[in-house]
Amino acid sequence: MTADPSPTPTPSPTPTGPMVEPSDPELGIVFEDVPVLEGAQVDVYNTVAAYQKEYWRMMTTNTVSPGFDVLASPEVTAMMQRIATQNAGQDLEILGVFHTRIYDLAVDGESATVTVCDDYREVTAADPDGTYTSQEIGLVGTAKRLTLGPSGFGTWRLLNSTPAGGC
């Protein structure tokens, strides 16, 4: 007498998450509440995470990285250049840890939207006259709605950023 073989369970597909852990303690950026994503959402998330890292790098160095040319439209890159130039002109140094959260991610064909919360609770600033809290220099928790489209390189590119209230 032979025993009936036990059925082998079929594994259900598991959603994939972002390809890399986006937080970068050396840079001073922490991504919070990283969602579980799949398919094109992963690519959109990774593009936005890379953009957020370059944004924070620009804020702490007052220099726009060449990475913006790949990650963002010329209009968004120009906006980053204006911020860097203004901060450098004021001898403003941004310090501390920047917290960010990427959520409400939607992909529709060759278009994607996402909301990002910028949280400056652990950010300070300094200039020749002293040091300041993030609130004292106008960096408060704000949300922005990002629209992305194809970059032409098989990846996504940030096309525009609009205010989306507080977070």
If we measure between CA atoms, which residue out of 150, 141, 146 comes closest to residue 160?
A: 146
Average of per-residue pLDDT values in the chain: 88
Residue 65's domain comprises: 29-166
Residue 69 phi, psi (nearest 5): -65, -30
Residue 42 in any domain: the answer is: yes
Residue 13 in any domain: the answer is: no
pLDDT of residue 152: 79
pLDDT tens, position by position, 75-102? 999 999 999 999 999 999 999 999 999 9
pLDDT exceeds 60 at position 70: yes
Domain containing 51 — which CATH number? Answer: 3.10.450
If we measure between CA atoms, which residue out of 151, 72, 148 comes closest to residue 106?
A: 148
Question: Measured between alpha carbons, how far is 150 from 131 in angstroms, rounded to an integer?
Answer: 41
Q: Name the strand (E) or helix (H) holding 166.
A: strand 156-166
Q: How confident is the model at residue 19 (pLDDT cuts 50, 70, 90)?
A: low
Residue 151 in any domain: the answer is: yes
For residues 16 and 42, the answer to whether their CB atoms sit within 8 Å is yes
Residue 122 in any domain: the answer is: yes
Residue 52 in any domain: the answer is: yes
> What is the residue-wise DSSP string for 89-144?
HTT-EEEEEEEEEEEEEEEETTEEEEEEEEEEEEEEEEETTEEEETGGGT---EEE
pLDDT tens, position by position, 101-124? 999 999 999 999 999 999 999 999
Residue 24 in any domain: the answer is: no
Query: How many domains does the chain divide into?
Result: 1
The pTM of the full predicted model, rounded to 2 decimals, is 0.85
